[in-house]
Structure 1
Amino acid sequence: MTQLSICMPSNRVLKDSIASIESAIAYCRQTDAVLIVSDNSEDPEKRAFLQGHSGDLIYVSSVNTSATENWKRAFAAAETAFIMPMGDDDLIFADPAQPALDLATLGGDYIGAFAVNIAFTQAHGQLARKTLSLTADDPAERMKGYLNNAGGNNSNYYSMYRRDVFGGLLSLFLSAHPTQGSYCDWALSLALVSSGKMAHDPGTVFHYNMDNWGSREKIDALNTTIYTAVGLPEGSDRYEHLLMFLDLYVMAARKDTPLTEPQKTKLATDIVLMTMGRFVRRVKQTPDDYDETTRYLVELAMAEQNSLGIFQIALMMADILQPGLKDRYVEFFRRAVAA
């Protein structure tokens, strides 16, 4: 029985996406998976190509839709127990020399599995090869394990997840998150691995295209534009860990998480230490980068013992970054716990 759908929202024209699509088609043939391509490129050549492969993939026409809507449509077409996001410039292969993981055999405390992950750029070829499994019982330990393995590269986000867990988090994010910025990919990855254990599939090899992050100049530019592109002010990268704290605190508290209430309570405290702690240290190290009120609120946060109290102080800091952001996060939190 088919267990996995690869969900590919695609905006590139055919010549720029055909390698990714064909690699996914070949992988699905070998593993009995399903490829879903939701296309908003408006490229007639690509539309004809995808329609011609109707026996190998599910084609979703998303003409005149946003990137967010395109992703929603790709996911909505999936009916399998597991899904895997994939970019239309990435590649995926089945390694015949390695045993493929049968996702149907995963226990209920597992929410998915990591593929072998290889980052590459067109200029430099393969950069890193990562293998990972996260089997700790404690959600925070899984988050720490993810960060230790990542090395600043979040490509393991492109993994296999239970559709209900991934879908619940994605639906909350796309319907209620204050910015839906691409900078939130780290918070999404950490929220996912906090939700359950992750196995390793040695038979699936995912090649992640890092061309957008291929040089220091590109990294510096993206560290600015990933915030300004969603309406946040310039310099928001200085608030990276404050925003990550707010996102993770809300996502970990969501009503449909698989975690128990005691696990959620402990995780809230762990998230304070892992993310808010880093923001506090940055403010202390570079105080001139922040206004007087933010520095004062940092002192209050350091004295506060309750994670909810720290969350409320962090909301006030967010409103200094951008007026109105606090209210949008309050609504995000309300939707998460009421979902």
Structure 2
Amino acid sequence: MSQLSIVVPSRRSLDRGRFSLESALIAAEKLDAVLIVSDNSGDPAKAEWLQGLGGRVRYLHSTAEDAVANLVNALNHVETPFLMPFADDDAVYVLDGLPVADLSSLPQDVIGVRPQTMMWRDDAGVADVVTTNLDAETPSGRIQQYVNKTGGNNALYYSIFRSQLFTGILKTFNAHHPTRGAYCDWSFVATFLCCGKVLYDPALIYCYDVGQWNSAAALDASFDALLLQVGLPETARHYHEFLLFLDLHSLLGWRGLPFAPHDRGDGLQANIRFNLRVFCNRVARQPDLYPQEVKDAVVALGNSTDPETLFATILPVADSLRPGLAEEYRRYRAVLDDV
């Protein structure tokens, strides 16, 4: 039985996505993996081509209107214990002559395997390569390792993960999150790291297309577009760490996560350190960007270190982005406590 599914939510036409999809198919053949493509492109030529690629490819016609829903459509058909999400503008390769990780023998405290990640730009080739193990013994240690090695992007998302963990988080998020925004992928990865280690496999190469983020202006424009898609204003870019704090705090309350209570506590404290305090420092450095009620909420946090107190105190800031958003997050947090 296959251990791995390569999961591709694909909106690009055949002409624009064929190279990427062919790389995924070759990788699937080398890894004895299933290739699942949820196609919402509406391109009949692409549908015909995918359906003619043989039994290793599972083609899914999709009417999903956004990337997260299209991904969940693919996740609904995963039957293997591991999966790897894949973007249809990237490429993935398996090096000949090197043994690949035996997924069936991974220790239980390992939740994923990362490829050699190459940051790629069409105009400049390989801009960076990341090969780091994320193997610290604590959630905060692994998040610190990731913060040190991100290079400003979230490419770790495109790694091999245990299917139950990845699918559980994404389906829960899709069903209940207040915005379901694609900008939330940072909170997914941080949650994964709170649950276990991610080891590096040198036999795998993932080429991550960073061309759309090749300047600060392009990065801002891309992030703004993700915010606008879900009804948040462009000014929400100044609240990124605040939103990440809310999202990670909420996800760490989900009872389906496979970790011990002390790891949950360590993850919650890491979230305060890496997200909430960073947001507070941003407000202090650039007060003109924020209304008075936001500055008052930051002051009200005081010196508290209790995660629930801090969450409740800072939550009203969400209404500065969209009226009623704070209450939507309260409901989201409550739902995660119950599912």
State the shift of 1:55 in Å.
Answer: 2.2
Shift of 1:221: 1.2
1:108 aligns with 2:112: no
Specify the alignment match of 1:317 in structure 2: 317
CA distance in 2, matches of 1:249, 1:337: 11
State the one-letter code of the partner of 2:48.
A
Match of 1:51 in 2: 51
Trace 1:14-53 onto structure 2 (pairs within 5 A): 14-53=14-53
2:308 corresponds in structure 1 to 308
User: Residues of 2 paired with 1:302 and 1:207: CA distance?
Assistant: 44
**Native 8 Å contact 2:138 2:266 kept in 1:** no
1:64 Cα offset (Å): 6.0
C-alpha separation in 2, matches of 1:312 and 1:220: 29
Distance in 2 between residues matched to 1:243 and 1:66, nearest whole Å:
20
**1:172, 1:55 → 2: CA distance?**
30
Tell me if 1:264 matches 2:264: yes
Kept in 1, the 8 Å contact 2:194–2:263? The answer is no
Alpha-carbon distance change, 226 to 69 in structure 1, aligned in 2, over 3 angstroms: closer
* Shift, 1:215, TM fit: 3.1
Q: Tell me if structure 1 keeps the 8 A contact 2:67–2:182.
A: no
Per-residue CA deviation, residues 89-131 of structure 1 (Å, 9 max, x unaligned), is 1111101132211111101111111111111121111111110
Shift of 1:295: 0.9
User: Is the alpha carbon distance of 1:65 and 1:226 closer, same or farther for their aligned partners in structure 2, counting shifts above 3 Å?
Assistant: closer
Secondary structure of the residue that 1:143 maps to in structure 2? helix
Moved more, 316-325 or 208-217: 208-217
Q: Is the 8 A contact 1:172 1:335 kept in 2?
A: no
Deviations 1:65-104 (A, max 9, x none): 5433321111111100000000011111101132211111
Structure 2 counterpart SS, 1:2: coil
- Residue of structure 2 in register with 1:88 after alignment: 88
1:181 is aligned to: 181
Is 239-248 or 253-262 further displaced after alignment?
253-262
2-side partners of 1:219 and 1:275: how far apart? 19
SS at structure 1 position matched to 2:234? coil
TM-score normalised over the length of structure 1 = 0.96
Are 2:221 and 1:221 aligned?
A: yes
For residues 280-291 of structure 1, the aligned pairs below 5 Å read: 280-291=280-291
Letter in 1 for 2:36: I
Paired residues for 1:99-138 under 5 Å: 99-138=99-138
The aligned amino acid for 1:328 is: E
Q: Say how many residue pairs are matched.
A: 339
The answer as to whether partners of 2:64 and 2:70 remain within 8 angstroms in 1 is no
- Which amino acid in the other structure matches residue 285 of structure 1? R
Q: 1:259 to 1:296 in 2, by over 3 A?
A: same
Q: Mapping of 1:58-77 within 5 angstroms?
A: 58-63=58-63, 65-77=65-77
In the superposition, relative to structure 1, how do residues 225 and 63 fare at CA in structure 2: closer, same or farther (>3 Å)? closer
Runs of at least 5 residues in structure 2 that lack an aligned partner in the other structure: none
* 1:162 maps to 2:154: no
CA contact (8 A) 1:246 1:314 kept: no
- Matched residues in 2 for 1:131 and 1:9: separation? 25
Which 5+ residue runs of structure 1 have no aligned equivalent?
none
Question: What is the CA distance between 1:253 and its match in structure 2?
Answer: 1.6
How many percent of aligned residue pairs carry the same amino acid? 34
